[in-house]
Structure 1
Amino acid sequence: MASIMDRSAINVNISIDDFDSILEYIPDQAPWTTPDPWNDPIDFKTTPWRTGTYHRTEQVGAAVTLNFTGPAVYIYGGTGPEYGSFEVDIDGNKTVVTAYRQESSLLPTSEILFTNEDLAYAEHTLTLTNKGAQGDDKGGDAFLFDYLDMTVQMAPQGASITNKTIEEDDPSITYEGTWGTNQSGNFSGGGSTYTNGDKASFTVEFQASAIYVFGDKKNDHRTYNVYLDGAPAQTFNGTSGCGGAWAASCEQQQPTIKYFASNLNSSTHTLKLENIAGVNESYFDLDSIVLTVPSEYAPRNLSASSASANGSTSTGQSGGGSSSGSSSSDTPDAAFTVGSSPLLLLTFFVLYMLQPRLRQ
């Protein structure tokens, strides 16, 4: 297959948590249950789940989907006697994976359920659908999704990357409409900003090979549009999905990914994010923007998608290793983990916590 992963380049594993807004739950989040981080503070020393949350369903046909660009994806979730099978659909290519295990561990753990490292470097649509008990599954119909990793190339071989954090009060961000502010040592840079104005927006110009927008996720949040370089809007939903259909509750105190884009060239890019408040006057919260800036730009030419969903299952670590490239960060907010195989895989993780918003 042409244009797959360049293992000599700087490739990064981006972790997409079950609470991140770039995921879409189908038909919505009603068939799914999740721990409420608003009521149950997360002990990160003991939780088996990334950021302390998961999405679990017993409804056959319930699904979660993600659009991503890159050559590899890794799915993590729960296994045990209560679980059945789920379908992995990548660009219409489907395979069924079982999460059933005859015995369960003494403590729940998040295991790697599916791996595919042979995708074309292209735009892909991934859908995970609960199939319930199938074939040799002797348990129930449950499916538990914890998180996934997707691999993207940030820079070519021999280059380096630096991560730059833009706080919400940085003058490079232009705001339209009414925005409020919160101050807390738990936010990146000590503060955040929020709006419940319809069509209230912010715009930022930047140069980077990738951009992350981080913010809060809560049940009084709804949809928002993102425009990159004047392209048609991409619409996302910031509702957290527990604590009731509409409530100022179920806040994910870990920062969530509100938007992500990669494979950008060296030109100046423009990102605009617009809140869709609607009749409920729903909120959008911005904590920070993180840019990955390479010493050399070499965006990949994207292939026509011709994915195969026939990946593999594993209980080991994905990726890892040495490369002639390097990375650094000018902010303590981001940490990267380097593994031990021929591919440099840097797992993006944020160390600060977002506390509940106090709106007046």
Structure 2
Amino acid sequence: MADTTTRSTSTTTADPNGATSSPATTTNTTDTPALVPEAAPRFDTSSANATYYANLTIDSFSPIIVYDPPMSVDTGAWHTPITDSILSEIGPLSQRDWHLGTYMRSEMPNATILFFFEGSELYLYGDRGPSYGAFSVQVDSGTTELRSAYTPAQPIGGSSLLDAVRGLSEGRHKAVVTIAGTRTGLVEGSGFLLDYVVVRQNVGTGQPKISDVRGADLEKLGSWKTWTKDEVTVQQGQNVTQTKTIVSSNAKGESLTYSFSNATAVQVYGTRNATNGAYSISLTSSSPSVVGNTTTYNGSFPCDFPDRTNNLTSCEWRGSVLKHAAANLDPAANYTLKLENTDDSPGGRIFDVDLIRTFGGNGVVLEPGSLAPGGSGLDAGNGSSGGASGGGTQNGALRADAVGSSFALVVLVWCLLFRDGFGFGRL
């Protein structure tokens, strides 16, 4: 429901009867900054009821977001930094400061972007400039609002706020963005570019702790018969790298199951590229007051373009994206999360995961925007319990390999700082 919905005043409502689209502000500053995958969220609270809220970032590359027509080399409906050849006023679009280095851009009228989210506020971020035009945003069955991304000058740097929807009832909502293109008689372009989405959602009363299951502990969770464990180091946004363990299987029906309690929200992260396929995520509970649900996603992304070779995994973003999220959970209920590879493509496609994160009364409190150094919400004793048992002792604790890596990094920096004194900087 959206009875009290309000709109941001920092973006421009496109006037269908106007001679031109009024220029919107070109500032990129915002109080809802994007967070790289797996980073600790920023919390804020309402003093009236002591409710805590967190900002959830959904990148344009996330399988939670559905594009229609689908991303395809054949249709050319959507462009990414790999396929985009259009230059902006200040250089190639791919060289701009995009979140995670990705975006989705289209100039096709009536092309749509659809996604479901849980929360009370929604923020859309993308590009503005002379090549962009009108678009509409509808949340649930509310009024379809017409907006414009046109500005006479191209902004410099990162993304701009395109639209904000506030005052939604806390819960699950559906958002649809439709490209309107260039309207007759108006000085504007035809394009639309989405960089990322930020959702503000309720995560309970009292600042929640974070309990993570990652690394080798993911192997303890499921029926993995044919699985692969890969250690990879990926770039997590600007000047941030992280080494992680990705567990994957290309066999249909393979799954992992994670049981947890005392939680208000859960998130699942993993990779996305052309080797990935369809997967489903179900969340059930033994509590009679909780209604279970199953969601199916398309985790594939067509990175294997005809004019490129050996590029099945050469997507723009090689690291994590949000693959599922649920909020407004009952902390008194016991939950079971099942992740399953449902793809039936010939030869099999991959389903993978590198992190399951729950918010609730167990775990640790991470600094806003920081990346968890490792650890697990699993009980070290049996490897089957959720964050409700053991998360507070292990989650967020530095492991031996992380400590070793940190020590090696310190030594490397020390050597670089003093290399001239030891003759390292001279041939």
TM range (shorter): 0.7 to 0.9
Contact kept in structure 2, 1:276 and 1:282, CA below 8 Å = no
The residue aligned with 1:227 is: 282
- Comparing 118-127 with 238-247, which one deviates more in the overlay? 238-247
2:98 equivalent to 1:49: yes
Q: 2:79 aligns with which of 23, 33, 37?
A: 33
Whole-Å separation in 2 of the counterparts to 1:238 and 1:275: 10
Contact kept in structure 1, 2:224 and 2:249, CA below 8 Å = no
Pairing of 1:132-147 with structure 2 (within 5 A): 132-134=181-183, 137-147=186-196
Q: 1:95 aligns with which of 145, 167, 171?
A: 145
Q: How many pairs were matched up?
A: 295
Pairing of 1:207-246 with structure 2 (within 5 A): 207=261, 208-229=263-284, 231-244=292-305
Whole-Å separation in 2 of the counterparts to 1:256 and 1:235: 16
2:246 equivalent to 1:192: yes
Could you say what secondary structure the match of 1:130 adopts?
strand
Q: 1:21 aligns with which of 44, 63, 69?
A: 63
Could you say what secondary structure the match of 1:61 adopts?
coil
Whole-Å separation in 1 of the counterparts to 2:141 and 2:4: 19
| Higher RCO (CA-CA < 8 Å; seq separation 6+) | 1
What is the root-mean-square deviation in Å for CA atoms of aligned residues? 3.1
Relative distance call for 1:167 and 1:7 in structure 2 (3 A) is same
- Comparing 90-99 with 230-239, which one deviates more in the overlay? 230-239
Question: Higher strand share goes to which structure?
Answer: 1
Question: Higher helix share goes to which structure?
Answer: 2
Contact kept in structure 2, 1:13 and 1:150, CA below 8 Å = yes
Whole-Å separation in 2 of the counterparts to 1:250 and 1:189: 18
The residue aligned with 1:340 is: none
2:7 equivalent to 1:7: no
Q: 2:313 aligns with which of 249, 264, 268?
A: 249
Whole-Å separation in 1 of the counterparts to 2:150 and 2:186: 6
- Comparing 122-131 with 226-235, which one deviates more in the overlay? 226-235
Query: Identical aligned pairs, as a percentage?
Result: 26
Shift of residue 332 of structure 1? 5.6
Whole-Å separation in 2 of the counterparts to 1:108 and 1:139: 21
Whole-Å separation in 1 of the counterparts to 2:216 and 2:223: 10
2:200 equivalent to 1:161: no
Could you say what secondary structure the match of 1:253 adopts?
coil
Whole-Å separation in 2 of the counterparts to 1:254 and 1:52: 11
Relative distance call for 1:115 and 1:58 in structure 2 (3 A) is same
Relative distance call for 1:81 and 1:2 in structure 2 (3 A) is closer
State the structure with more CA Rg: 2
Q: Flag structure 1 segments of 5+ consecutive residues without an equivalent.
A: 38-45, 296-325, 336-360
Shift of residue 212 of structure 1? 1.1
TM-score, reference length from structure 2:
0.63
Contact kept in structure 2, 1:154 and 1:294, CA below 8 Å = no
Could you say what secondary structure the match of 2:305 adopts?
coil
Contact kept in structure 2, 1:162 and 1:330, CA below 8 Å = no
Q: Flag structure 2 segments of 5+ consecutive residues without an equivalent.
A: 7-43, 84-94, 235-240, 286-291, 374-427
The residue aligned with 2:371 is: 333
1:256-275: per-residue Cα shift (whole Å, max 9, x none)?
01111111112221011111
